[in-house]
């Protein structure tokens, strides 16, 4: 194995003599990225299955149960179907931008995962400004939807794209302000440091001092990912399918993957920011801490994330769709004043050293 590796390194140096970077480093980064993206795609696939099952049971139906045992192969059948379907191009559409749009949607949705810490020391990249990176790369995803609407050269996609652009820009401000309070308490924009700052017990997590911010963050996350009750971008009853109207087959599937990857990302972010990341909820509790010490941190992170992912489905099955202008009002007139006010509250709490958080 080592001999094979050595000969590979020699080959690379022979082919590219100007290259002095360590091939091993680049390969390790590649392997890390694959080890992250493959399970992510699998989770996305089975998240769609979970969504149909959960909403099915909430509506007293069974949900998909035909493909494979208990319908377990349904997402794979869906993927095969979407891959083999024809991709239709609208006659007057701008083909390049039409195909660029789904790429622009999925690329940031996956690139963001590079800085997410899953456990102490388990991440692809430990960026000093990882929170800003998440916000910056996350804000690029909107181009996918805007371009999809514009390049389709069709009226409903354009309307959907207009809604999406204004909604996403508005709610990015809210999310930014809500996360500023987290940064103020943790004193760092590094996601690792933010999780480490919540070490101690369940009372040290930031959901207590930042309770309103947590609610606002989660609701804004619903808007950012176009989820019900804020899914006006593809509001079927008003604009058919919004930006997705003209997309078929794999191009549509890519949008779908991006949306679900973003949903899971927002759930993980909520856990990292407000629910102690990979820390066990039994920390600091006598006996319980020792009894659950064997559970690795990543299990706790995934368990907490699963709860928030379930919350997405629960909310979708519960609430009717918001009206577009009401969503805008919620952002600018309700959430934004609250977040700005809470920044001052947190500043006061920091100065007066209230609670175990500072």
Candidates 56-64, 213-221, 294-302, 323-331 — which segment interacts with other proteins by CB under 8 A? 323-331
Please tell me whether residue 135 binds other proteins under the rule CB under 8 A.
yes
Min dist. Cβ of residue 326 to other proteins (A): 7
CB nearer to other proteins: give 142 or 258.
142
Letters for 70-109 (x = contact with other proteins by CB under 8 A, - = none) are ---------------------------x------------
Give the closest residue to 265 by CA, choosing from 107, 39, 40: 40
Please tell me whether residue 136 binds other proteins under the rule CB under 8 A.
yes
49, 113, 123, 150: which one binds other proteins (CB under 8 A):
150
79, 132, 315, 343: which one binds other proteins (CB under 8 A):
132
109, 148, 161, 270: which one binds other proteins (CB under 8 A):
161
Please tell me whether residue 127 binds other proteins under the rule CB under 8 A.
yes
Please tell me whether residue 21 binds other proteins under the rule CB under 8 A.
yes
36, 112, 114, 146: which one binds other proteins (CB under 8 A):
146
Q: Which long-range contacts (CB under 8 A, 24 or more apart) does 107-112 make?
A: 107/140, 108/137, 108/138, 108/140, 108/141, 108/144, 109/141, 109/257, 109/258, 109/259, 109/261, 109/262, 109/265, 110/37, 110/40, 110/261, 111/137, 112/137, 112/138, 112/265
Q: Quick check: 192 and 123 in contact, CB under 8 A?
A: yes
Letters for 260-279 (x = contact with other proteins by CB under 8 A, - = none) are --------------------
Distance separating alpha carbons of residues 197 and 195, to the nearest angstrom: 5
> CA 207 from chain center: how many Å?
19
CB nearer to other proteins: give 51 or 259.
259
Using a 10 angstrom Cβ sphere, with 0-12 exposed, 13-18 middle and 19 or more buried, the burial of residue 165 is: middle
Q: Which two tokens stand for residue 186?
A: 């943790």
Number of residues engaging other proteins in binding (CB under 8 A): 33
CB nearer to other proteins: give 44 or 105.
105
Candidates 82-90, 156-164, 260-268, 294-302 — which segment interacts with other proteins by CB under 8 A? 156-164
Q: Which two tokens stand for residue 287?
A: 């006996």
Distance separating alpha carbons of residues 220 and 201, to the nearest angstrom: 27
- Measure CA of the first residue to CA of the last residue in the chain; give whole Å: 51
Please tell me whether residue 14 binds other proteins under the rule CB under 8 A.
no
Q: Quick check: 94 and 124 in contact, CB under 8 A?
A: no
CB nearer to other proteins: give 9 or 165.
165
- What are 122's strand-pairing partners? 119
Min dist. Cβ of residue 135 to other proteins (A): 6
Please tell me whether residue 162 binds other proteins under the rule CB under 8 A.
yes
CB nearer to other proteins: give 153 or 306.
153
Residue ranges in 163-182 that form contacts with other proteins under rule CB under 8 A: 165-166, 168-169, 172
Q: Would you state the torsion angle of the CA atoms of residues 137, 138, 144, 149, taken in this order, to the nearest 10 degrees?
A: -140
User: What does 274-288 look like in DSSP terms, one character per residue?
Assistant: HS-TT--TTTTSTTH
Please tell me whether residue 326 binds other proteins under the rule CB under 8 A.
yes
Please tell me whether residue 340 binds other proteins under the rule CB under 8 A.
no
The CB-side HSE value for 135 (13 A sphere, CA atoms) comes to 18
Q: Which two tokens stand for residue 176?
A: 């930014």
Q: By the criterion CB under 8 A, which residues form the site for other proteins?
A: 18-21, 97, 127-129, 132-133, 135-137, 139-140, 142-143, 146-147, 149-150, 158, 161-162, 165-166, 168-169, 172, 189, 325-326, 329
């Amino acid at each position: 194995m080592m001999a094979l590796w050595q000969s590979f390194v020699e080959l690379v140096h022979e082919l590219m003599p100007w290259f002095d970077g360590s091939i091993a480093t680049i390969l390790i980064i590649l392997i890390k990225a694959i080890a992250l993206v493959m399970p992510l795609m699998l989770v996305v696939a089975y998240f769609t299955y979970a969504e149909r099952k959960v909403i099915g049971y909430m509506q007293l139906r069974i949900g998909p149960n035909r493909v494979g045992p208990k319908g377990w192969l349904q997402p794979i059948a869906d993927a095969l179907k979407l891959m083999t379907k024809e991709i239709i191009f609208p006659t007057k559409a701008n083909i390049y931008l039409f195909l660029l749009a789904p790429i622009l949607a999925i690329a940031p949705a996956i690139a963001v995962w590079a800085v997410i810490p899953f456990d102490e020391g388990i991440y692809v990249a430990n960026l000093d400004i990882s929170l800003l990176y998440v916000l910056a790369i996350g804000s690029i995803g909107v181009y996918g939807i805007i371009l999809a609407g514009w390049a389709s050269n069709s009226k409903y996609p354009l309307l959907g794209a207009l809604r999406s652009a204004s909604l996403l820009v508005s709610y990015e401000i809210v999310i930014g302000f809500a996360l500023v309070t987290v940064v103020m308490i943790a004193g760092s924009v590094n996601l690792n440091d933010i999780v480490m700052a919540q070490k101690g017990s369940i009372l040290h997590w930031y959901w207590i001092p930042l309770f309103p911010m947590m609610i606002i963050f989660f609701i804004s996350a619903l808007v950012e990912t176009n989820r019900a009750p804020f899914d006006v971008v593809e509001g079927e009853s008003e604009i058919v399918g919004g930006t997705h109207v003209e997309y078929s087959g794999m191009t549509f599937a890519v949008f779908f993957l991006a949306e679900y990857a973003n949903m899971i990302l927002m759930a993980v972010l909520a856990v990292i920011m407000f629910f102690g990341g990979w820390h066990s909820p039994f920390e600091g509790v006598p006996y319980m801490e020792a009894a659950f010490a064997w559970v690795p941190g990543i299990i706790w992170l995934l368990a907490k994330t699963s709860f928030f992912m379930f919350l997405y489905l629960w909310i979708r099955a519960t609430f009717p769709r918001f009206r577009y202008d009401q969503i805008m009002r919620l952002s600018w007139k309700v959430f934004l004043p609250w977040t700005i006010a809470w920044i001052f509250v947190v500043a006061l709490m920091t100065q007066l050293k209230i609670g175990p958080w500072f």
